Structure 1
Amino acid sequence: MTQGPLFTPTDDPEARAPALSDHLEGQGAPGLAEIVQAIAEAARPIALRLALAGLPGDPAAKTGQNASGDSQKALDLAAHDHMIAALARTSVVRVVSEEAEAPITLNEAGEWDVVIDPIDGSGSIGIGAPLGLLFGIFPKGESVLRPGREMAAAGYVSFGHSTDLGVSLGAGVSLATLDPRDGVFRLTRSRAEVPPTTKMLAYNASNERHLAPGLRAYLDEARAGVTGPRGGDTNMRWIAAAVGDLHRILIQGGVFLYPADARPGYERGHLRLLYEAFPIAFLMEQAGGAASDGAGPILDRSPAEIHDKTPLFFGARDELARLHAHLTE
């Protein structure tokens, strides 16, 4: 039985999509593209390690707790150390990481500060579910506790059946996929755009009883579908790793909800403002979407401490406006 072109893709280098590094060259302020490229190159061995799962050992082995109180897995720490080593070769002054209690100083003569979550969704390590990496880049400053509006660039890596990277240097969002034939991230979309309307919601329905009344009313309305005031049905996707939903929304549209709720420890939300919510919000706004904490734009906020938490809603602008109307009733 002969295999069709789906299983025998052309290996003609001339037919391949352009490299992300070539696409980013000359974009943004000096040094930004170099940092993004360093993160992209460092993501390749992480993707390989995830693909090996438990064959050479247990990447999900618990090693303790991080500064935010979450369980730390072996791969959380390994990815953190790996990224710090990669960023140390660039013009980065300081790094804030989910896996470190305090900012890490790298190069005093550098020009940029980086905030990073080396492994997003680490509760799913070892089961083949999508995982991710989030990062944001700020001009160096007196403090790492900066308003989100000062961010100069942001991006993510999504580790799934493909390894995908999304990045913005302040002029739209570019998407790329790691080509396993040569190890190069190649451009798949030069300008991703999030449609303003959607029928797709992403949230953890098991926590619905803990939510505020306005948010429950919004979800009740969504479930009512064609028989309710929306006049149309909705669908739900929940990947349980924010990067996975972010990547999907940048391609297909949708809205992501991770609200505060009444459970102990979740009263102020659970995602980290500085290195999770800020990069996502930057990318959303660059792609024509929106990102909010339920009261206002995420990027208008400033963290009180490096592991500050926040509610987070992001995606289609018009759908978030509908959500906000319920929250403020």
Structure 2
Amino acid sequence: MRRTTLTQFLVEQQRSARAIKPELRLLIEVVARACKAIAVNVGKGALAGMLGNAGTENVQGEAQKKLDVISNEILMEANEWGGHLAGMASEEMETFHEIPNRYPKGEYLLLFDPLDGSSNIDVNVSIGTIFSVLKSSDELGPVTEKSFLLPGTSQVAAGYAVYGPTTLLVLTVGTGVHCFTLDREMGSWVLTQSNMTIPEDTKEFAINMSNMRHWEPPVKRYVDELLQGKEGPRGKDFNMRWVASMVADVHRILTRGGIFMYPRDKREPDKPGKLRLMYEANPMSFIVEQAGGAATNGHQRILDVRPGKLHERVSVILGSKNEVERVTSYHLA
């Protein structure tokens, strides 16, 4: 049986579908190679001293794991010199990184969460990398923070890698969602699922129940209805799943349906949510919508949110369309 590699898939998208330019194809390939390098480091774990804290904090004041720092460096070094980018921004860095003058500049901007689910590193649970690609509107001038502050609808590509029992790369360039599995012996990404779709209805939900006392009334109402099961207004039993790695939770939803919620809460009323709009919510929302799902912040479509700053946070409700619409309607009631 003929196997389609990531490179072959991207060339076909470039030639036949005309969905991407050659420069974007090369950029995605570089990101995919960087994810392979990160997977190698994740796989070594304690054997290479990769576990534990790095002794530093990121811009959000969170303790960085050694693998957070290493993954960020891998993505930066891999993408800096290729000539496809005007700039990069990372969840782990305080400000954006403009491509140095010694390298040619391209027309794209790359944003990424180098290692999502860091709290799971030391306990050997699936973690991953999330990335988003924007087209720069400042091709003739220097890149500024404002260059990155575009709504999620401006994304030309988005994806994530999952470092689990198998290493996966899930990608969209606006023509559906496709999953590639890393063949470790051959070193190539092989297409294993095409046009992934999220069922509109589900019996699974993912949320951190320990925060229930802090939730806003619409979220409490929705989850309470789920917990009542067959005897409640929904008339069916629901199962809860929570990995605490967004890549793992979203991939489960992409594979078999479900709803993922990370709502804002009363502990930090001045913040619109916990997850980062540019590095997590936007790319995941693009992927979920391309798979037939929905993604909102409770009040509006996430991809329509116009960011005001690079590290903006947002409430996230995404997954099976009918469930997302129900939670959103409770917020708007």
Whether TM exceeds 0.5 here: the answer is yes
1:21 aligns with 2:7: yes
CA–CA distance in structure 2, aligned partners of residues 66 and 155 of structure 1: 23
Q: Please say if 1:96 is aligned against 2:89.
A: yes
1:34 aligns with 2:34: no
How much does 1:50 deviate? Answer: 1.1
Q: Which residue, 131, 139, 152 being the options, matches 2:156?
A: 152
Q: 1:171 aligns with which of 151, 169, 175?
A: 175
In the alignment, what sits opposite 1:315?
A: 319
- The reply on whether 1:302 has 2:303 as its aligned counterpart is no
The C-alpha deviation readout for 1:232-262, integer Å capped at 9, x for no partner, is: 1101111101111111111111110000001
Query: Aligned equivalents of 1:164 and 1:58: distance in 2?
Result: 21
- 1:128: which partner in 2? 124
The corresponding residue for 1:87 is: 79
Which is helix-richer, 1 or 2?
2
Once residues 214 and 265 of structure 1 are traced to their aligned partners in structure 2, the CA distance between those partners, rounded to angstroms, is: 15
Shift in Å, 1:267: 3.9
Match of 1:264 in 2: 268
2:286 to 282, 286, 294: 282
Structure 1 runs of 4+ with >3 Å offset: 264-267
Structure 1 CA distance, aligned partners of 2:43 and 2:180?
19
One-letter identity of the residue aligned with 1:48? V
User: Following TM superposition, by how much is the alpha carbon of 1:61 offset from its aligned partner in structure 2, in angstroms?
Assistant: 2.0
For 1:47 and 1:16, the matched residues in 2 are separated by: 25
Gapped regions of structure 2 (runs ≥ 5): 14-18, 139-146
**TM-score with structure 1 length normalisation?**
0.92
Deviation at 1:222, TM superposition (A): 0.3
Stretch moving more, 61-70 or 270-279: 61-70
Mean Cα displacement is larger for which, 309-318 or 33-42?
33-42
Aligned partner of 1:180 among 167, 176, 184: 184
Residue 67 of structure 1 is aligned with which of 46, 49, 59? Answer: 59
Question: Does the CA contact (< 8 Å) of 1:95 and 1:103 recur in 2?
Answer: yes
- Bigger shift: 214-223 or 104-113? 104-113
Structure 1 SS opposite 2:272: coil
Name the CA distance, whole Å, in 1 between partners of 2:45 and 2:2: 29
CA contact (8 A) 1:200 1:253 kept: yes
SS of equivalent residue, structure 1 residue 126:
helix
Of 303, 306, 325, the residue aligned with 2:329 is: 325
**Which of 148, 158, 165 lines up with 1:161 in the alignment?**
165
The one-letter amino acid of 1:80's match is: N
Query: Which amino acid is 1:258 matched to?
Result: Y
Distance 1:300 1:109 in 2: 28
Distance 2:43 2:73 in 1: 19
Shift of the alpha carbon at 1:89?
A: 3.5
Aligned length: 315
Q: 1:216 and 1:222 mapped to 2: Cα distance?
A: 10
**In structure 1, what residue type is equivalent to 2:197?**
E
Report the equivalent of 2:143.
none
Q: Which residue of 2 aligns with 1:55?
A: 47
Q: Distance in 1 between matches of 2:270 and 2:36?
A: 34
Cα RMSD (Å) of the superposition?
1.4
Please give the alpha-carbon distance, in whole angstroms, between the structure 1 residues aligned to 2:2 and 2:206: 33
Report the secondary structure of 1:251's partner residue.
Answer: helix
Matched AA of 1:92: L
CA drift at 1:278: 0.5
Q: Deviations over 1:249-290 (max 9, x none)?
A: 111111100000011378421100011111001101111111
Contact (CA 8 Å) 2:132, 2:283: kept in 1 or not? Answer: yes
- 2:232 is aligned, of 228, 232, 257, to 228
CA distance in 1, matches of 2:52, 2:27: 28
Structure 1 gaps, min length 5: 1-14
Quote the Cα distance in structure 2 between the aligned partners of 1:264 and 1:310: 12
8 A Cα contact 2:259 2:317, kept in partner: yes
Give the structure-2-normalised TM-score. Answer: 0.91
Identity of aligned residues (%): 37
Bigger shift: residues 22-31 or 142-151: 22-31
